[in-house]
């Protein structure tokens, strides 16, 4: 979808969420090829009518430059003419009337994003070989790293991750999964966010993590499962706020380290209840998910040096992995990335590790 069309949708979102009747739209949206049946079912599962309307508008941005005119046609077809006219007024005259545009047979991902920015603010931009960011996972243990084959579609990504989770990790120390893709905000219970495949379908981060939990990956029970997610968490752009850095000791905030307050769980051997508790572990234990950006916000990149989060993470690991644990290093990454750019970005993590995590560095 072109930038002008995205702007039309975003400026119209409040009214669409408030007034859109989603139920009659499913059949024409499916028939015209705007969404697949699976995509529609996923939107329907997002919650209330307002939630479904909001998710529909968000997902529409990833469905190619014909999607908006076709959506306007669906509104007219279902008797929502006032909304159709409202959207049509904002469309460029060069797009032509919706009725003249043929239905989408294959999702087209032709949006180029904002040509003046360095961001990845949209779920799907230019998904061609030249501009595509790789989507892959990495399994690492005992100091070795194995790069898995790249998979592009949502189904292929899920299949590859499940295959990795089912492997025998008995002789390994941990599992690392690194994903670089376009992302979005999704409804969730545990871990926020979702990533897109090149087919325009999204895979929830919490579903990815669930493949590796204690129930689904027995050989990883009790072992750290670390996830690094480089993807947009939504569409909001953070301009930040003014802060007096001189108020901090030394007049600067960079270079700080924070000692982890996590301590090993001590078992009193004379207490049978505690022994029973140690015999099993919570299903989501030993999991850490590190996000490139705060949920709901875009993730930025420099056109020459790459994504802020990935490049900073790489630099911090190279410099400090021999002496600091992962949480301390992620604080360094968050501090460095938060200081970049006119628009701001705040990495963070969901930490369910039971112990401090150190890399084995030769």
DSSP 232-286: --EEE-B------GGGSGGG--TT--------PPPP-TT-HHHHHHHHS--TTTT
Spatial strand order of the sheet with 306-307 comes to 119-120, 299-302, 306-307
Looking at 74, 184, 232, 349, which residue is catalytic? 232
Active site residue 182: yes
Largest CA distance in the chain: 79
Enumerate residues 6+ apart whose C-beta is below 8 A from 292. 229, 230, 231, 233, 299, 307, 308, 309, 310, 337, 345, 347
- What's the token pair of residue 278? 């140690």
Q: Tell me if 74 sits within 8 A of 34, measured CB to CB.
A: yes
DSSP classification of residue 322: T
Looking at 109, 136, 182, 184, which residue is catalytic? 182
- Three-point CA angle 225, 228, 230, nearest 5°: 160
Query: Please, what sign has the CA dihedral across residues 303, 304, 310, 315?
Result: negative
- What's the token pair of residue 333? 């990454």
Sequence-separated contacts (24+) of 128-133 with Cβ below 8 Å? 132/198, 133/180, 133/181, 133/182, 133/230, 133/307
Active site residue 232: yes
Half-sphere exposure of 349 (CA within 13 A, CB side): 22
Residues with catalytic function: 182, 232
């Amino acid at each position: 979808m072109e930038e002008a069309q995205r702007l039309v949708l975003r400026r119209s979102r409040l009214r669409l969420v408030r007034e859109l009747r989603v139920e009659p739209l499913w059949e024409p949206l499916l028939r015209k090829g705007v969404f697949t049946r699976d995509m529609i079912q996923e939107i329907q599962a997002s919650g209330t009518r307002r939630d479904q309307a909001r998710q529909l508008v968000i997902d529409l941005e990833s469905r190619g430059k014909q999607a908006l005119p076709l959506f306007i046609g669906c509104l007219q077809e279902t008797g929502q003419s006032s909304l159709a006219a409202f959207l049509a007024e904002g469309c460029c005259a060069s797009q032509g009337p919706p009725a003249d545009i043929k239905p989408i047979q294959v999702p087209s991902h032709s949006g180029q994003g904002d040509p003046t920015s360095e961001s990845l603010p949209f779920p799907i931009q230019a998904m061609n070989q030249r501009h595509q960011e790789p989507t892959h996972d990495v399994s690492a243990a005992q100091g070795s790293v194995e790069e898995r084959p790249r998979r592009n579609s949502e189904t292929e990504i899920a299949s590859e991750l499940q295959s990795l989770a089912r492997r025998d990790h008995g002789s390994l120390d941990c599992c690392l999964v690194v994903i670089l893709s376009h992302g979005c905000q999704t409804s969730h219970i545990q871990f926020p966010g979702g990533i897109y495949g090149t087919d325009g379908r999204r895979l929830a981060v919490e579903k990815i993590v669930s493949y590796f939990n204690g129930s689904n990956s027995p050989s990883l029970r009790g072992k750290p499962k670390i996830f690094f997610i480089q993807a947009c968490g939504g569409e909001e752009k953070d301009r930040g706020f003014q802060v007096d850095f001189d108020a901090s000791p030394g007049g600067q905030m960079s270079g700080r380290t924070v000692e982890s307050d996590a301590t090993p769980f001590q078992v009193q051997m004379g207490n049978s209840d505690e022994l029973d508790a140690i015999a099993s572990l919570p299903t989501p234990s030993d999991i850490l998910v590190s996000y490139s950006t705060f949920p709901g916000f875009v993730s930025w990149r420099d056109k020459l040096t790459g994504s802020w989060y990935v490049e900073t993470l790489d630099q911090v690991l190279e410099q400090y992995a021999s002496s600091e644990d992962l949480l301390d290093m992620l604080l360094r990454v968050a501090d460095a990335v938060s200081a970049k750019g006119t628009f701001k970005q705040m990495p963070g993590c969901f930490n369910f590790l039971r112990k401090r995590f150190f890399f084995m560095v030769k």
